[in-house]
Structure 1
Amino acid sequence: MRSLTRRTALTAAAATAALSLTLTACGSDDGGSGGHSGHDSTKTSASASASAPSGRHNKADVSFAQGMIPHHRQAVEMAGLAASRASSSQVKKLAADIKKAQDPEIRTMSGWLEAWGEDVPEAMPGMDHSQHEGMPGMMSSKDMEELKKASGAAFDTAFLKLMVQHHQGAVEMAGTEKRKGAYGPAKTMADDIIKTQSEEITVLNKLLGKG
């Protein structure tokens, strides 16, 4: 009788243990599924964050970069003419400074657009200036052709006058970015453009005898 009672107790204990394991397994399946789903969601979110450009940007930032790149390219092209056409050493130095400052900014803004999945304005030999003539301060194709034909003192005067207009346009565009943009680095660049090109406008005007 004692042996029978012991066997009955062992059988009940085994059944209870089996039931417990089954419930645990079921709970593990449900919890595991939910936990796995949550893990995937976290991984996906982290992956998306890693692939996205750092910092929030908006349409104004995109417009700023897409507009300022060709604007800078024209200034660099104008500055490149000074090396062989200008007669004033001051004009040549100023042109070299403009090229040195704006070339890296073109590369930086191109990188932003690529990171944002936006179109980068194409750089073409013999830049077509007509498509950008409505942009603040941009030279027309006619202006650029006349500048290319000039040399000596005539080039110096034309270069200085055109670059004042060009810089004023860049300052205007940078001001729009400061007011409407959201991307920190773009707003910082806009600050730099306003500061640097405003100072250069003062120098340009002095060389023109206006300051």
Structure 2
Amino acid sequence: MKRAFALVAVPALTISLAACGDNGSGDGKDPMAGHSMPTSASPSASEGSRGRHNEQDVMFAQMMIPHHRQAIEMADLAVTRAASPKVKSLAADIKKAQDPEIKQLSAWLTGWRSSVPAPGTGGTGHMGHGGMDGMMTDQEMKDLQGAQGAAFDKTFLEMMIKHHQGAVTMAKAEQSSGRFPAAMKLAGDIVSTQTAEITKMQNLLKQ
């Protein structure tokens, strides 16, 4: 009787082991198959997140970065050249607002696997300022660098108004044609903030 029991038990054990080892057999009944889905789906989810942007979002970020950098360069000149405390305060506000925006725009481009404009590119003397409304030319920047006191204040305000108007135009294009929600929100912030600063600068020119 013991031998007969052994002969029956071995096949049963073989069948049991085969059943336990039949993972990923393709019959769709593997209970572990569902547990592997989150891991395999992660890259797709990541790509989907990156995919919530379009060419307009990329262009907006790549153009606004050098545009902001030039505004900060202009604002830095006001520290030692401006005569009006109000102009110096405005310049400080511009730098305070736009420096973090450059970092945010750069982070988005990195996440989208798009190139981040290097410092010195896309600014004065580069790319012909194609599509970047309000960018100052090399000569305009030299004129601003050479000005002092009240003359600087006037030149700075006139140039920054033009610069802000260009940024507003670019931001409105992003609002109209962009896809990435956070970039479109930033564009809205730029429109409201810089439009208000344009009005402030126009009033300072009248004083």
TM-score (norm 1): 0.82
Listed one character per residue, the Cα deviations across residues 42-94 of structure 1 (whole Å, up to 9, x for unaligned) are 31322564688678222221111111110000000001111111111111111
Q: Which residue of 2 aligns with 1:130?
A: 125
- Taking the aligned partners of 2:51 and 2:196, their CA distance within structure 1 comes to 30
- Taking the aligned partners of 1:165 and 1:202, their CA distance within structure 2 comes to 12
- Taking the aligned partners of 1:156 and 1:40, their CA distance within structure 2 comes to 64
Q: Which residue of 2 aligns with 1:22?
A: 14
- Taking the aligned partners of 1:203 and 1:114, their CA distance within structure 2 comes to 35
| Residue 19 (structure 1) shift | 3.5
Q: Which residue of 2 aligns with 1:3?
A: none
Unaligned runs of 5+ in 2: none
| Residue 129 (structure 1) shift | 0.5
Instruction: State which drifts further: 44-53 or 185-194.
Output: 44-53
- Taking the aligned partners of 1:15 and 1:47, their CA distance within structure 2 comes to 50
| Larger CA Rg, structure 1 vs 2 | 1
Listed one character per residue, the Cα deviations across residues 145-179 of structure 1 (whole Å, up to 9, x for unaligned) are 11111112211111111111110111111111112
Q: How many residues align?
A: 201
Q: Which residue of 2 aligns with 1:120?
A: 116
- Taking the aligned partners of 2:75 and 2:180, their CA distance within structure 1 comes to 29
Identity %: 46
Task: Indicate if the aligned counterparts of 1:80 and 1:95 stay in contact, CA closer than 8 A.
Answer: yes
Instruction: State which drifts further: 14-23 or 192-201.
Output: 14-23
- Taking the aligned partners of 2:54 and 2:15, their CA distance within structure 1 comes to 52
| Residue 121 (structure 1) shift | 0.9
Task: Indicate if the aligned counterparts of 1:53 and 1:116 stay in contact, CA closer than 8 A.
Answer: no
- Taking the aligned partners of 1:158 and 1:136, their CA distance within structure 2 comes to 18
Unaligned runs of 5+ in 1: 1-6
Task: Indicate if the aligned counterparts of 1:85 and 1:152 stay in contact, CA closer than 8 A.
Answer: yes
